Structure 1
Amino acid sequence: MTHIHPTREQLAAFRALPTDGPIEMLNLLRFREQARYPDDHPAGPCSGADAYHRYLDAAGTVTARLGLDVIWSATPALTLIGPADEDWDMAFIARYPDASAFLTMIADPDYQAATVHRTAALADSRLLRLAPIAMQRD
């Protein structure tokens, strides 16, 4: 089973959490070898990774306006603990000023238009909402 878009239940659970204060979203992405665009889409053939970069470029105006900041990104090298078949091509953490910014983003028409590239790009993904905590040391 693949996971590309949130379900209605997942969005409802997201909306039920507090909306004030910053949130972080952990993104784990597995790209298709070849992007799969709808037949009527004008985008030329490309890799899934290239299609995802098209998504980032197209969504960039909206995410910048809403204060999204990618605070960490990496290329995963090995799953040391966890299912061996859950290999990922990209991982990153995006910080939002608050949960409302994320909800505003996904409702924005320009952002929604950009998601055609994300959908074409991804074979599978995970998106986890994180609540920042301060780690204490003794």
Structure 2
Amino acid sequence: MPSTHLDQARLQAVDAPAEGPVVMLNLVRFRDEADYGPDSDQVPCSGRTAYFERYVPAFRKVAPEYGGTRPVYLGRAHELLVGAEGEKWDVVALVQYPDLAALKGILGDERYLRDAAPHRVAGVADWRFLVTSAVA
């Protein structure tokens, strides 16, 4: 089942080390056309455009206040060799946060919720967001 929204209860219950960096794995599939809803004043665009030209710049305005947050990798996804039949992703992104508190801080930041998240939700048809931490 496609997912596009972050569940705040799951975020608060994350079982990961409280200290040290976390790297978030993002698997993203874009909508052909971004869906801002019928009452939106947003100029129509593709899901890819909503994500890269609207979401990413808004995210980058918030991230510096959570020192050390940085993209690690962004790549085009090709073929899924192991996984559910028909599952397809457009982009794989790894973003490192200095710690779990920084991740939660950005995702709960009023500016992120107002200026960035709506573009992600509008542009993304399906999303996986996995918290990872280094193996000792």
State TM-score, norm by structure 2.
0.90
**Alignment partner, residue 13 of structure 2:** 13
Percent same amino acid among aligned pairs?
A: 36
State TM-score, norm by structure 1.
0.89
**Alignment partner, residue 45 of structure 2:** 46
Aligned ranges 1:20-59 → 2 under 5 Å = 20-53=19-52, 54-59=54-59
Question: CA offsets per residue over residues 6-35 of structure 1, 9 Å max, x none?
Answer: 334422321x53321100000000000000
**Alignment partner, residue 119 of structure 2:** 117
Detail structure 1 runs of 4+ shifted over 6 Å in the superposition: none
Alignment size in residue pairs: 133
Q: Higher Cα Rg: structure 1 or 2? A: 1
Question: CA offsets per residue over residues 70-124 of structure 1, 9 Å max, x none?
Answer: 1111101100111132110000110000000011101111100121100000110
Distance in structure 1 (CA, Å) of the matches to 2:6 and 2:60:
21
Unpaired segments ≥5 residues, structure 2: none
The residue identity in structure 2 corresponding to 1:133 is V
Distance in structure 1 (CA, Å) of the matches to 2:74 and 2:30:
16
**Alignment partner, residue 135 of structure 2:** 133
Question: CA offsets per residue over residues 23-57 of structure 1, 9 Å max, x none?
Answer: 00000000000000033322100000000011011
Q: How far does residue 3 in structure 1 lie from its aligned partner after superposition? A: 1.1
Unpaired segments ≥5 residues, structure 1: none
Distance in structure 2 (CA, Å) of the matches to 1:62 and 1:9:
22
The residue identity in structure 1 corresponding to 2:34 is A
Whether the 8 Å CA contact 2:16–2:133 is kept in 1: the answer is no
* Cα RMSD, aligned residues only: 1.4
Distance in structure 2 (CA, Å) of the matches to 1:45 and 1:90:
21
Tell me, what secondary structure is at the counterpart of 1:110? Answer: helix
